[in-house]
Amino acid sequence: MVHPAAAHCVLTAFLCMWVLCNAQSNSGTPVIQLRLAGENRKHHEGRVEVFYNGVWGTVCDDDFSIYAAQVVCRELGFVDAESWSPSAKYGRGEGQIWLDNVYCAGGEKSLAQCGSNGFGVSDCKHSEDVGVVCNQKRIAGFKFIRNQGLTVQVEDVRIRATYAHRKRVPITEGFLEVKDGGKWRQICNEEWTEMNSRVICGMYGFPGEKRFNVKSYKLLAKRRKKNYWGFSVNCTGNEANLATCKLGRAIELKGNSTCGKGMPVVVSCVPGRAFAPSVSTGFRKAYRLEQPLVRLRGGAMIGEGRVEVLKNGVWGTVCDDNWNIRAATVVCRELGFGSAKEALTGARLGQGIGPVHMNEVECSGFEKSLTECHFNRDSLGCSHEEDAAVRCNIPAMGFHNRLRLNGGRNPYEGRVEVLAERNGSLVWGTVCSDSWGTMEAMVVCRQLGLGFASHAFQETWYWQGDSSADAVVMSGVRCSGTELTLDQCLHHGKYVHCPRGGGRFAAGVSCTQTAPDLVLSAQVVEQTTYLEDRPMYALQCAHEENCLSSSANKADASSYRRLLRFSSQIHNNGQSDFRPRAAPHSWVWHECHRHYHSMEVFTHYDLISLNGTKVAEGHKASFCLEDTHCDDGIQKRYECANFGAQGITVGCWDTYRHDIDCQWIDITDVKPGDYIFQWRKKSECTLPLAFYAFFFKIVLTSMLALKH
């Protein structure tokens, strides 16, 4: 039992921690983790802190150099260091000073490989803590490893549902129990508050708490043998996790006489609309999250993404200056999730486009919406490399228990098999591949927690699934891409209609944890836009490829078409290369232009009136996807010359010049006025989820005045 003197310690009793003390890599280099901390800083600068031997500590500025700063920044995922600062510029750290007299040559992979006095050997004070300023650009494809060397699991707290509620999904109400000393124990409710319940509900993926029937639980408590935990808990309500609450007073344990004036704690939570309770036989209703002011984009999993805010009809991002777990929790609860697991900075879940609406956000944790928090409207100095993101707690819905992949070479691919009710029993079966596409595959990958969809397969004869699950049990599946489960998509229900049958034509998917993050440069479009009048006789190839408006079908060869021309520059800011799905042998040859199309329709260009009506459109086929230019240090991988491989490498961009055929919108029939230019991706194309998240219905320029 913990001594009462520890009554105000942080509630670490709820955490099981395994620390790899003095962990060594195969090369003998100590395993460390770095972070930037301190006051008045941006995400790419701060006091250097090192996690070693289970403890965070600082680095002394003695002998520190720009070479050491370069090693630090690269280890944190930045391309380079800009400068370093001695004398605790970002504030004094606390606790251990792990490294002193650090000497780096600049090429080391980790700060632990640099020379020093040794870990913990230092004569410095925290007034000598060193800081660095890194280049804001990220290393292309850099993957963050959270809690390296440290595993934290909250497995010793549970909401134990009563028998009547155990079949409900999710479990939203029950006795709160703590596992201590290998035994589950109750908590006395004599000092329990609604704020404590709020924190518990947030941990389990629920945005709020509610009242419950006290009488029924009192009757149940009288019949149960009691085994109370020895402490009360004191939460303020804005904590993201019970581990950050404080212990209350110690409780004297007297067997069944313990908590004589109270009863075991009961918690009752309110689920978000997307997770409303349903019996375990299925999730029939397609709930949609209402996100009028805030939304998440670019996340691979449910409840994560880049934070975007709606202002004056335009979606924009949030700068990560001062972004913390409280602000992230406000976002999560607003969207119907629980508290935040992580507040992410530095565009960790992709860069947005358009304006940066909010900066230096400060929340108390009790706001109903992020827009109620204090923030700086001036985003001067913020770029999309500083876009804030969140990862939220979500309820345990058991989604993965009703769907599986079978026969694949790895857990991320295979034939899709679903659990369906047939003749009063649950059986596994396949999904008809008619109309099966990327949208459906995205839902499958998300439901299984496998990330993005990389491919949707309509033939799976090469994947030997479970022979007892060959029968088709689901057909006519049509998904919008936002559903949480495949059951929520439109489908034929119990009536199965699959003309091709199952077997080799069963639906399959391939999932991936990473995806391209393609961002169009609005600035390039604005700088290169112009009008051109061109005769029909010079547009025959473009006419064959349907790059002109329908009125061109009846136009005389000597007539002219008015074209809105522009260049497009498409950057891949993601964590994997973008490639056309079709292999070179299936590319389509176009005789008039004398080239192959790797994707028949790569992009759509729309001109929209101010009331939202589309007045003109264009499209661009992909005849050459290649790395036109790359960031410093990135090698080009794709080049169209000599029938080479096509794609866009992470950290590179592809440019389609304004003078290329079909790089336009035919506005011959458009009246003079102000219009909105919209660039979007054709949704039928087989592309990873990140592509849709960033490109569907994006306003590139607020107004384009077209004067005839």
In a domain, 655, yes or no: yes
**Tens digit of each residue's pLDDT (9 = 90 or more) over 81-132:** 999 999 999 999 999 999 999 999 999 989 999 999 999 999 999 999 999 9
- 439 shares its domain with 464: yes
Structural domain ending residue among the three candidates 350, 375, 392: 392
Rg over CA atoms, the chain: 29
The pLDDT assigned to 449 comes to 87
Yes or no: say if 596 and 587 are a contact pair by the CB < 8 Å rule: yes
- 530 shares its domain with 602: yes
Q: Would you give the distance in Å from CA 708 to the centre of its chain?
A: 44
The pLDDT assigned to 199 comes to 93
Which residue ranges of the chain lie beneath pLDDT 70?
1-28, 140-156, 163-166, 181, 255-256, 277-292, 600-601, 621-622, 680-708
- 263 shares its domain with 341: no
Yes or no: say if 232 and 188 are a contact pair by the CB < 8 Å rule: yes
Long-range interactions of 56-59: CB distance < 8 A, separation 24+: 56/95, 56/96, 57/93, 57/95, 57/96, 57/97, 57/98, 58/93, 58/95, 58/96, 58/97, 58/98, 58/126, 58/129, 58/130, 59/97, 59/98, 59/99, 59/100, 59/102, 59/111, 59/129, 59/130
What CATH number is attached to the domain comprising 301? 3.10.250.10
In a domain, 675, yes or no: yes
In a domain, 424, yes or no: yes
How is 148-215 classified by DSSP, letter by letter?
TTEEEE--SEEEE--GGGTTEES--EEEEEEEETTEEEE-B-TT--HHHHHHHHHHTT-SEE----HH
Q: For residue 403, what are its two tokens?
A: 């769907």
The pLDDT assigned to 164 comes to 67
In a domain, 9, yes or no: no
Q: Would you give the distance in Å from CA 513 to the centre of its chain?
A: 10
Residues 233, 249: Cα–Cα separation, whole Å? 8
- 215 shares its domain with 159: yes
- 531 shares its domain with 636: yes
- 188 shares its domain with 312: no
- 523 shares its domain with 641: yes
Among residues 589, 572, 664, which one has the least CA distance to residue 625?
A: 572
Helix (H) or strand (E) holding 331: helix 325-334
Helix (H) or strand (E) holding 689: helix 689-695
The pLDDT assigned to 708 comes to 33
Residues 401, 83: Cα–Cα separation, whole Å? 51
- 136 shares its domain with 32: yes
The pLDDT assigned to 634 comes to 82
In a domain, 15, yes or no: no
Structural domain ending residue among the three candidates 392, 407, 438: 392
Provide the number of structural domains found in the chain.
Answer: 5
- Is residue 355 reached through a cis peptide bond, with omega within 30 degrees of 0 on the bond before it? no
Note the pTM of the prediction, 2 decimals: 0.68
The pLDDT assigned to 466 comes to 78
Residues 6+ apart with CB under 8 A from 422: 429, 473
What letter does residue 78 receive in the DSSP assignment?
Answer: B
- 548 shares its domain with 664: yes
- Domain range enclosing 247: 154-274
Burial level of 692, CB count in 10 A (0-12/13-18/19+)?
buried
- 430 shares its domain with 495: yes
Vertex 579, ends 575 and 585: CA angle to 5°?
160
What letter does residue 536 receive in the DSSP assignment?
Answer: G
Q: For residue 601, what are its two tokens?
A: 């329709």
The pLDDT assigned to 140 comes to 66
What letter does residue 62 receive in the DSSP assignment?
Answer: T
In a domain, 11, yes or no: no
Q: For residue 591, what are its two tokens?
A: 């005789």
- 387 shares its domain with 456: no
Residues 6+ apart with CB under 8 A from 430: 415, 416, 417, 418, 465, 469, 470, 471, 472, 473, 474, 502, 506, 507
In a domain, 12, yes or no: no
In a domain, 16, yes or no: no
Yes or no: say if 163 and 187 are a contact pair by the CB < 8 Å rule: no
Among residues 240, 270, 204, which one has the least CA distance to residue 331?
A: 240
- 527 shares its domain with 662: yes
Structural domain ending residue among the three candidates 104, 119, 148: 148
In this structure, what are the phi and psi dihedrals at residue 581, rounded to the nearest 5 degrees?
Answer: -70, -40
CA dihedral 320, 326, 327, 330 (to 10 degrees): 150
